[in-house]
Copies of this chain bind each other. A is one copy, B any other.
């Protein structure tokens, strides 16, 4: 065999995430990365190939760690309407506590690298599809059990929720104001509520 790695791949990958997350792809240099990961440039290239491949690994790790697990827990522990509310409220809380204004690495990537890079665009779009699917499952379940209005198609409501999620992340990076973000969310949640006239019409 040969000489073993002196670092843990997972933990240096998380250091790389911190760099790319805070400054984006272009503005992060390979030297920044190597310093933060506490490995040499040669080790970085040896282990991850090049800067682009490292970014891809970092982005995928970010999704796997930050999104998939959280969604699973919400769907297990909360009724659908509450899961949607908890998810979006949590995003707002994170945005307001985000002193570095890092935002969401996926939204940042959606604007900086996705438009010009088909490979990374697929990673970003995959996440968006999965987030939309989470919202869609919640809305459909809520519509079935009567806790979410069925006036709007579940598909459209899921799309709206995805759009609102992206919008919150954008606004928070230039205007992290509680009133703005919470005010934005209120009408969306009201839209999910079952309306006064809705049940009557259904019973006729």
Contacts and interface: CB of A to CB of B under 8 A. Distances in A.
A115 B101 contact: yes
A79 to B, nearest CB: 21
Interface in A125-162: 125, 128, 151-153, 155-157, 159-160, 162
24 contacts: A26-B26, A100-B115, A101-B116, A103-B115, A107-B111, A110-B170, A111-B111, A111-B112, A111-B173, A121-B174, A128-B175, A153-B183, A155-B183, A156-B183, A157-B187, A159-B184, A160-B187, A162-B167, A162-B171, A164-B164, A166-B170, A191-B191, A195-B196, A195-B197
Interface residues of A, number: 53
Interface string A94-130: 0000001111000110111011100001001100100
Given A164-B167, A191-B191, A195-B195, 10 more contacts: A24-B112, A103-B115, A110-B170, A110-B171, A115-B174, A124-B174, A160-B184, A163-B164, A163-B171, A170-B170
A156 B187 contact: yes
A49 B124 CA distance: 37
Given A101-B115, A125-B175, A167-B162, A187 B183 contact: no
